[in-house]
Amino acid sequence: MGGKYRITGDRYPRMRRPRNRHRIVFAAIGSALALGVIGWGTLQLIEVFTGGGGSTAHASEDRGACEPQGTPSPSARPLPKPAAITVNVYNATTRGGLAKETADELRKRGFKVGKVGNAPAAYDKKVKGAGVVLGPKAATDGRTDVLGTQLAGAQTRTDARKGQDVDLIIGDGYRKLAAERDARRALAALSQPAPRSSTNC
């Protein structure tokens, strides 16, 4: 063409419409949402027709089976009161006065006190720990256990003695009896053991 419509130069104008990038992005997002909705609907249909809800029920049953059932521990038993326990207090250390001091404190806590003095030769100056709670083998009513709550770290032993008395033999590691509050807590825990789980979870 000539005149004012004549094309000059070596470049020609592009005749196609420029791309709209925003429209492409929106179309991609819409497609992704549509695929997500279709996939979710498919999963719901599969659960409906295959009974997928049963797995939830089984999972709940399994969780319930793994929870403690509150079965009492076989060690739960009535324990004797301190007033029903006669304690002989012996000092196996080189420090004087410990047996009497400890016996007086046990008496205040409700125990009956029997003999008070130096430890027998088998234990005298031979107890390195806090002490030893010694009772007859026939003592199955928990007397040694109840006395043991009064002295943290005490060892519990038995011998062939006759009778119902129990001994508290004070050792080199002894400082004082357990605080009354701690002793009460230990006695309460002894009276009411934690429930035993009935599962192997």
Output the pLDDT for position 161: 87
Residue 89 CB: number of other CB atoms within 10 A?
A: 26
Q: Are 103 and 116 in contact (CB under 8 A)?
A: yes
The chain-wide mean pLDDT, for the chain, equals 78
Contacts of 139 (CB under 8 A, 6+ apart): 158, 164, 166
| pLDDT above 70: percentage of residues in the chain | 57
The CATH number for 82-191, chosen from 2.30.30.30, 3.30.70.2390, 3.30.2020.30, 3.30.450.20, is 3.30.70.2390
Distance (Å, whole) CA 47 – CA 63: 22
Output the pLDDT for position 3: 55
* Residue 31 scores a pLDDT above 80: no
**Residue (of 17, 24, 141) closest to 75 by Cα position:** 141
Reading across the β-sheet that carries 166-170, which strands appear in turn?
112-118, 86-91, 166-170, 131-136, 155-159
Structural domain boundaries of the chain? Answer: 82-191
Structure tokens at 35: 């695929």
Give the pairing type, strands 112-118 and 86-91: parallel
For 7-35, what is the mean pLDDT? 62
Which of 9-13, 23-27, 30-34, 91-95 is predicted with the least confidence, judged by mean pLDDT?
Answer: 9-13
Residue 12 CB: number of other CB atoms within 10 A?
A: 7
Burial class (CB within 10 angstroms; exposed 0-12, middle 13-18, buried 19+) of 80: middle
pLDDT in tens, 59-117: 444 555 554 444 444 445 689 999 999 999 999 999 999 999 999 999 999 999 999 99
* Residue 192 scores a pLDDT above 50: yes
For 47-61, what is the mean pLDDT? 52
Binned at pLDDT 50, 70 and 90, residue 17 comes out as low
